[in-house]
Amino acid sequence: QVHLEESGGGLVQPGGSLRLACAASGTTFAVNAMGWYRQAPGKQRELVAEITTRGTQTYVDSVKGRFTVSKDGGWRTLYLEMNNLKPEDTAVYYCNAKVVASLIQYYGLEHWGKGILVTVSS
């Protein structure tokens, strides 16, 4: 079991910045990738950014050039640096950890944090 806990959310004005952090513990050796998802009011949950063990990063088009996902070497902490925030970035952001395929039967497909609210408003 991977336990995830987000921090760093809050209220910020458009154009501002926030840095989210996700502290991971437990069976982090089974993690192959970690990422951030978000769910805005009235919308489906979407992948915002993801980083793999190899360091490959993936971003949804709407945040490219503004957000940066990073991690430490042992999946202890996942970060999301958010710059030039827009009102449409307002959402609950969830930390996600995906389990390596060969270990899914033992540790599950993926794990989620409880989410943290980011509000971008003037």
Instruction: Tell me the per-residue pLDDT of 44-62, one tens digit each, with 9 for 90 and over.
Output: 999 999 999 989 999 999 9
Residue 33's alpha-carbon distances to 5, 73, 87, 93, in angstroms, are 16, 12, 28, 17
Q: For residue 86, what pLDDT band results from cuts at 50, 70 and 90?
A: very high
Average pLDDT of the chain is 95
CA nearest neighbour of 7 among 89, 75, 79: 79
Residue 74: predicted pLDDT: 80
Residue 26: predicted pLDDT: 92
CA atoms of 12 and 67, how far apart (whole Å): 15
CA torsion angle 29 99 22 44 (round to 10):
180
Residue 72: predicted pLDDT: 87
CA atoms of 3 and 55, how far apart (whole Å): 21
Cα R_g (the chain), whole angstroms: 14
Half-sphere exposure of 13 (CA within 13 A, CB side): 1
Using the predicted structure, report yes or no on whether residue 87 has a pLDDT greater than 90.
yes
